[in-house]
Amino acid sequence: MTQLDIVDVGHSYTPGFEEERWALKPLGLTFEAGKTYALVGPSGCGKTTLLNILSGLVRPSQGQVLFDGADVTALPTKARNIAQVFQFPVIYQAMTVYENLAFPLQCRRWDKARIDAKVHQVAEALDLDDRLGQPARRLTADDKQLISLGRGLVRDDVAAVLMDEPLTVIDPQLKHSLRRKIREITEQFRPTVIYVTHDQYEAMSIAQEVLVMKDGRAMQQGTPEQLFEAPSSTYVGYFIGSPAMNFLTVDRAHGNVTLGAGT
């Protein structure tokens, strides 16, 4: 578990653009160790850019990325010790479920008994323990996505698990159960998780804290309850909740508040 800090981080994909046109306007955030966060907002709001900066796939135009206080801004992805789960399951089709989960540990030269114990622990949490001997290619898309997540959870040393809309290709009927499963296993293993989604329901059902983004800016961060009950702007109030929050024009004069003319 690692604390992730971004310090005055901003990014433009086109050099020379004024700051107002940057994909990610400069901001500072702290993601505490062992907590699950969701970055939520419409397409183009900067959430995936922020995730890619944390992973090292994108180097920011300005600012620093810190892992437990150490500056990793210039480090490549492979040196950041993270696990990533993408929109489409990334697994080794020719391997069994067991071999997929064991592979990251074999690369780190764990002994066989330790690997076996860890794989069975994670497989049981993912409800994959009865399919460890099956070829991964025969599994459904949601089970394959669980394997992708499991490969990050088997590692004790992983700094953070970064998830980029991992339920996009999952059948709508299965999304509810998979959301619940992701919440259960992140609570059990307590990695630091950054979860990107455009779906407010997904964000609020999975994350302990939600960061709402718009036009490359962080609009508000808080628990799902805080965002729902005390939005800091009309944008957050309208974005979070269904149906959306109602807004009425009012006039205030001489200590009285009345509905606006024509309302």
Classify domain 1-82+160-263 at the CATH topology level.
Rossmann fold (3.40.50)
Say if strands 70-71 and 62-67 run parallel, antiparallel, or are unpaired: antiparallel
Q: What residue spans in the chain does CATH classification 3.40.50.300 cover?
A: 1-82+160-263
Say if strands 62-67 and 4-11 run parallel, antiparallel, or are unpaired: antiparallel
User: pLDDT per position in the chain (263 positions), as tens?
Assistant: 799 999 999 999 998 899 999 999 999 999 999 999 999 999 999 999 999 999 999 999 999 999 999 999 999 999 999 999 988 888 999 999 999 999 999 998 999 999 999 999 999 988 899 999 999 999 988 889 889 889 888 888 889 999 999 888 787 877 888 888 888 888 888 999 999 999 998 999 999 999 999 999 999 999 999 999 999 999 999 888 877 788 888 888 888 888 865 54
